[in-house]
Amino acid sequence: MRAVILAGGYGTRLRPLTYTRPKPMLPLAGKPILQHIIEFLASYDFHEIIVTENYLYELIEGYFGDGFKFGVQITYFREDKPLGTAGSVKNAERCLDDTFIVIQGDNLTDINLKLVTNFHKKRQGVATIALTPVENPAEFGIAELNKRGQIVRFLEKPKPENCFSNLVNTGLYIFEPSILDLIPKDTAYDFSKDLFPSLLQEKKIYGYQVRGFWSDIGRPESLLKVNEWILSRMRKAPKEIPIKEGVLTEGAVTIGEDAIILAGARIFGPAIIGGGTKIESDVTIASDSTVGQRVKIGRGSTISGSIIYEDTVIGGDSRFDDSIIGESCEIGAGVTLSPNSVIGARCKIGENTKILPDTRIWPGIEIAPGSKIEGIIRHSND
């Protein structure tokens, strides 16, 4: 079976991070989201992978190439215009002559794919949707099943009062190639809004309730949540990794090559420190944090539950809580980032600046020293 990864979205809800890279290329625990997905598929022997792409596609192809170094074979299908979820799969029709799986390029999961595919084959339908229960189903497509697992009702993003089920569409599908005959060519066409309602009438669409972790990475808080989940699965670092005298590490901590960590630093796992990064003395890296490659963190700073992208410099005595900092930023001393703050690439944040919760700062912005920042910042205040 081949697998199709839908990686062409614009990721608007994750701006400013997605202004400089497509959502599937956002790093999580030191790897792009798309790499995690490819490794997950390969673990179930899906080695022929199709990637549908559009926005900033050159970053995807430049990183993965033909897939050889990741143990898979990747074929790319580029959309000249947005084709929707179903339309993008139709665009890859020439490679889909047998049962195939579709997965979203912004979903991470540990769903058992073997169980889903076995169910699909037994029911002999044309489509199977992997479904999972959630507490707040209104943001997703919801489904109701009969005793055989046929979907008898499906509604995309219902109002809270119209939620007849808590089983939501995970965006993971098993299809027969005949499904492609129902999708118009070169036309924007969506699985949930257009195709699935028509399949309900023919009673050929099934749902399989899955167990395990699943998350749609649509917002900064979900990016942090999934980063935490990946880190929680890390094993404790092997003893042969050298830790310099005077550096405290507890739990599962991964440290990249050529990283420099000075005496007095404290790292509490699970956490990842990228290669070439320098952490000065009296720095605390708290659990659930990922620090990218070639980052510099000044003396006395504390990083907790945060993601820091590559080539960023952080001054001393700063504190980041549950925040995301883009690549190549310059952050002065004494800066405070409150939960769910997001700083875009190449920003310059002046010393002693306080950034309040849920603030987003667009790429390339300069913030004057001593500022108090809140909301969406699109222009410099220097």
Specify whether 157 is catalytic: yes
The reported pLDDT for the residue numbered 66 is: 92
> Does residue 380 carry a pLDDT above 60?
yes
pLDDT in tens, 325-336: 999 999 999 999
CA–CA separation, 201 and 217 (whole Å) = 31
DSSP3 helix / strand / coil % (the chain, rounded to 5): 25, 30, 45
The reported pLDDT for the residue numbered 166 is: 81
Query: Quick one: 44 exposed, middle or buried, by C-beta within 10 A (0-12, 13-18, 19+)?
Result: middle
Average pLDDT over residues 273-300: 93
Average pLDDT over residues 112-134: 90
- Those residues whose C-beta lies under 8 Å from the C-beta of residue 31, and which sit 6 or more positions away, are none
Last residue of a domain, one of 190, 207, 231: 231
285 and 216 in one domain? no
Choose between 249 and 50: higher pLDDT.
50
240 and 205 in one domain? no
> Does residue 240 carry a pLDDT above 50?
no
Alpha helical stretches, state H, 44-135 = 57-64, 84-90, 113-123
Residue 22 lies in a domain: yes
- Of all helices (H) and strands (E), which one includes residue 172? strand 167-175
* Strands annotated E in 38-150: 48-53, 73-78, 100-104, 107-109, 127-133, 141-145
Answer for the pair 377, 50: CB distance below 8 angstroms, yes or no.
no
Residue 33 lies in a domain: yes
> Does residue 97 carry a pLDDT above 50?
yes
Which whole-number Å values give the CA distances from 321 to 193, 335, 357, 358, 380, in the listed order?
38, 11, 10, 11, 23
Choose between 294 and 83: higher pLDDT.
294
The catalytic residue among 23, 69, 121, 157 is 157
CA angle 307, 216, 319 (to 5 degrees): 20
344 and 276 in one domain? yes
CA–CA separation, 285 and 301 (whole Å) = 8
133 and 74 in one domain? yes
321 and 184 in one domain? no
179 and 265 in one domain? no
Average pLDDT over residues 26-53: 93
Domain that holds residue 319: 234-377
Provide the b/e sequence for 230-263 (b: ≥16 CB within 10 Å): bbeebeebeeeeeeeeebebeebbbbbeebebee
The reported pLDDT for the residue numbered 72 is: 93
How many CA atoms, within 13 angstroms, populate the side-chain half-sphere of residue 137?
A: 22
Task: Return the CATH number at 345.
Answer: 2.160.10.10
Q: What value does the mean pLDDT of the chain take? A: 89
Beta bridge partners of 343: 325, 361
Average pLDDT over residues 93-122: 92
> In the structure encoding, which two tokens stand for residue 199, read together?
């399949």
